[in-house]
Structure formats: structure tokens, C-alpha cells
Amino acid sequence: MLSTCARRMKLFNLFLFWCSVLSTHVLANNNAAPFELLHYYYVYKMEWDAGVEKTIAPGCATEHNEMCFFDQFARYLIGKEWKAAYRPGRADHTKTPGWDAAKKLSTGMPKSARYNLKALLPSINVDAKNFPLVFETVLHSANTAIKKEKEKVKNDDVQQAVEWAQEVKDMRYEDVFKAEIEVLRDVLGDDAYGRYVVTGGGSSFDWDTTLDGIDDDVDAKKLSDEDAKRLKEIIDDFPNIFNDRIATGDISDMNHINIMRALETSITALTGEIEESSSESDDASPKSVPADTCDNIEFAFDSD
């Protein structure tokens, strides 16, 4: 059996591994919506820059007879109650929206904030139950724009699409954490979960305090060594247990997991495009060595 130190190190390492897919910084799901709109907008912008078929909010340009600025794009998509609360300023009439635009959308946002998925992506049928398809389709639109006219798609816009997708993923983790709680409660049992499991800030488990509680009950003779070993083994293996539940679909709501997967796929794919573009730019601009030093150089190493 692992020592307490080794066990906690193992849990920490597995936790880091799991966080490569699921972030721990969390806000309510409703708060993700403004950042989702920002992510969509930058891919929308890629389509216009590349001159490809418009798949994202094509009706917005029909209303305004040109590519929409962000405030127009947001108004075109958001629901009636949200639209009534949205008060964009002059700075929101932009094609490079950022945090201020997200804040403006969040101000006074109703708890039931919604946007029109059919207006966003009229080419597909999507609802809350198959919401991952939204991010998959938007990624396909981004890939189409990049492949068609890579030189016309700005690297900064691709980077913005990645950053806002990351914000969405961070904010949607709360729903995944609820699934983690459900699984951990199931494998530990209600009594052990209620007695020992402690959660920390940012929707995460406080494993140190949880393990300390088990050790304290062993010392106080309230828990047998055998039962303590069983609980610790479950905790040790929990990231793998949770991954197995995902693999078998044995989660009460796989939709949240699949949303996170779709977001991670988008982030990884678009980040790859940024790195490839940066590499091509570096290759096209060879580094020179000052003439007065060339006679003394035997080997030159690229700093990259």
C-alpha cells in the first residue's frame, strides 16, 4: 500500500493529468454564454476573411448588408430577455471584441439567458441534448476557412477563438464536477462520502483533508485499518475510475462530458494551426548572422 505522501503525490499527478482535459476554474454554466458568443464571432470573422461559404449566423449579414460587428452579431443571436438587458456601447461596435464586450453581455444577463442555435448554425439541427455538435460544427467552419485561404485568416483571430473556447471550457467544468461527485459518492458509499469527502474552492476535491479525516478516524478507533485501506484505494484510483465510467457511458449526463471533449478538440486543433502558421513564418524569415562575427563561428544554433 502506498505511503500517505506517495498517495497524495499520485493523486496530485492524476489530478494534473485530468486537468489537461478538464480545467478547475469554474463559474456557473449560464456565465459561459457570453464567451461562447465571442468564440463563435472570431470563427465567423475567419469565414468572412477567407471568403468561404458563410455557415455561422449568415442571417446577421442579411439584416445589415455586410459582415456584422460584434454588437450586431450578439443582438442577432441572443434571446428576447437577454437582448432587453444588453446595453452595448460604442466600443462594442467592433470586429475585435474582448473582455469588455464579454462584461457588457454579462451585465444584467438573465439567469435563463439563451441564444438562438438555429440562427447561429442554420445548417444543422441542434438542441441542448446534442450541444457538443455546436462546437464541432464551428470547428469545422474554422478549419474550412483556414484551409481555403490560410493567408487571409489572421493568426490573432485564431488565437482569440482558442482563448474564448478555453474560457468556455473553464466555466463549464462545474457540470462535470457534479458528475465526479456522483461517481465518487457511488463508489465510496453515501456514509463514507458524507463523512470524509471535502471539496475545495473552484469545484475540486480537497484530497489532503479527505485523507486526513480517514487517518484521524483510524487513530480514534472509529474506522478499521481494513476499511481505511479500501477507501484510500478507491481515492487513489478515482481518476481512472471516472475515466472508465466515461468510456462506458456510465454517467448520468454524458452531455457535459461531451461538451468538454468538443471544446478540448477545438482548442487543440486551432492551437495546432497557430503553431504551424508560426513555424511557417519563421521558416520564411531566415535569421542572419552579423558579418563581423562570421569568421569566428563554427556552428550556428537556431534559438527556437
Average pLDDT value over all residues in the chain: 84
Higher pLDDT, 303 or 175: 175
Condensed to tens digits (0 to 9), the pLDDT of residues 103-112 reads: 999 999 998 8
Condensed to tens digits (0 to 9), the pLDDT of residues 247-266 reads: 887 666 678 888 998 999 99
What CA–CA distance (Å, rounded) separates 125 from 109?
A: 26
Neighbouring CB atoms inside 10 A of 200's CB total 13
Condensed to tens digits (0 to 9), the pLDDT of residues 114-129 reads: 999 999 999 999 887 7
What CA–CA distance (Å, rounded) separates 206 from 212?
A: 10
Three-state secondary-structure class, residue 200? strand
**What's the mean pLDDT in 255-279?**
89
Query: pLDDT at position 243, please?
Result: 87
What is the pTM assigned to this prediction?
0.73
Condensed to tens digits (0 to 9), the pLDDT of residues 82-98 reads: 999 999 999 999 999 99
Higher pLDDT, 206 or 176: 206
Higher pLDDT, 161 or 178: 161
220 pLDDT higher than 90:
yes
303 pLDDT higher than 70:
no
Grid cell for residue 102: 464579454
CB 262 within 8 A of CB 136: yes
Query: pLDDT at position 225, please?
Result: 97
**What's the mean pLDDT in 64-93?**
97
**What's the mean pLDDT in 277-287?**
57
CA torsion 228-232-235-236 (nearest 10°) is: -170
296 pLDDT higher than 60:
no
Q: Which residue type, as a one-letter code, is found at position 118?
A: K
Residues 6 or more apart in contact with residue 100 via CB below 8 angstroms: 91, 92
Q: Of 129, 168, 153, 140, which is closest to residue 260 (Cα–Cα)?
A: 168
Residues 6 or more apart in contact with residue 269 via CB below 8 angstroms: 139, 142, 143
Grid cell for residue 142: 474554422
Query: pLDDT at position 202, please?
Result: 67
8 pLDDT higher than 80:
no
Query: pLDDT at position 2, please?
Result: 52
Query: pLDDT at position 9, please?
Result: 53
DSSP letter string, 13-46: HHHHHHHTTS------GGGGHHHHHHHHHHHHHH
Query: pLDDT at position 211, please?
Result: 97
Q: How much of the chain exceeds pLDDT 70, in percent?
A: 80
What CA–CA distance (Å, rounded) separates 142 from 272?
A: 12
Q: Of 162, 207, 179, 151, which is closest to residue 15 (Cα–Cα)?
A: 207
Residue with cell 490560410: 150
CB 170 within 8 A of CB 26: yes
Query: pLDDT at position 63, please?
Result: 96
Helices (H) and strands (E) in the chain, counts: 15, 2
